[in-house]
Amino acid sequence: MELAGINTEYVIPEGTFGVSYIKGLDAFGSTARDGQETVSLRYQGNAGVENLFLSGEFVTQDQGDNSASADAWYVEAGWTFADLPWSPSVNYRYSSFDTGFDPLFFGFNRGYGTWFQGEVAANYAGPFNSGADVHHIGIKASPTEMLSVGALYFDFKDKAGSGANDAQEINLYAEWVITPNLIVSPLIGVYSPDNSNTSQIGGKKTNVYGQFVVVVPF
């Protein structure tokens, strides 16, 4: 498809405020996203408090046709225990997506567990960035400057209350910078749907997933 947009940000020591507007121009043979308008308001920073992390965003979306408009939003707070060994950090996020919300092209901008929620859920059983409420807890620590390890927990709830998409997922991962030009990241994910209608890969059974990512920056 074709998109056009504009983004503006206001940066101060306490954080960054941003506004984005995205317009769908052409969907190449489909009416979906043709004329769609998405507006995002967001903030990320520490509000002037060292070791504090705050982030939040509100998005409203007009589908450009007879479909109902849809909103999505999240709030997140975290703390880094800088004086402890390995400098561990803990983050909690709550996100909510109306039914019919189109997450467009989400990616890997902040690392595991951010906009791309749950390695198994987002790749195979979801995505859950529409018609769902998601609780997320993330823990991360750095044994060395070149190695980080983390654990992520997600609790997915169907926004309609039917329970059709209720599930939980745990991800365990590491990020190892072997050299400036070689980064490896193994991950194990365990996805547990609450009923057989949730998962697309095995009914109600718990799904175990593994991946090994190699990144070569240059």
- Domains of the chain, by residue range, sit at 2-215
**Torsion-angle region of residue 12: left (phi > 0), alpha (psi -120 to 50) or beta?**
beta
- pLDDT tens per residue, range 81-97: 999 999 999 999 999 99
Mean pLDDT score of the chain, rounded to an integer?
A: 89
Whether residue 18 has pLDDT greater than 60? yes
Confidence of residue 200 (pLDDT cuts 50, 70, 90): low
Confidence of residue 203 (pLDDT cuts 50, 70, 90): low
- pLDDT tens per residue, range 162-199: 777 789 999 999 999 999 999 999 999 999 988 765 55
Which residues, 6+ apart, have CB-to-CB distance to 87 below 8 Å? Answer: 80, 81, 141, 142
**pTM, to two decimals:** 0.89
- CATH placement of domain 2-215: 2.40.160.10
Strands, E assignment, the chain: 2-12, 15-26, 37-45, 52-62, 70-80, 89-97, 132-144, 147-158, 167-179, 182-193, 207-215
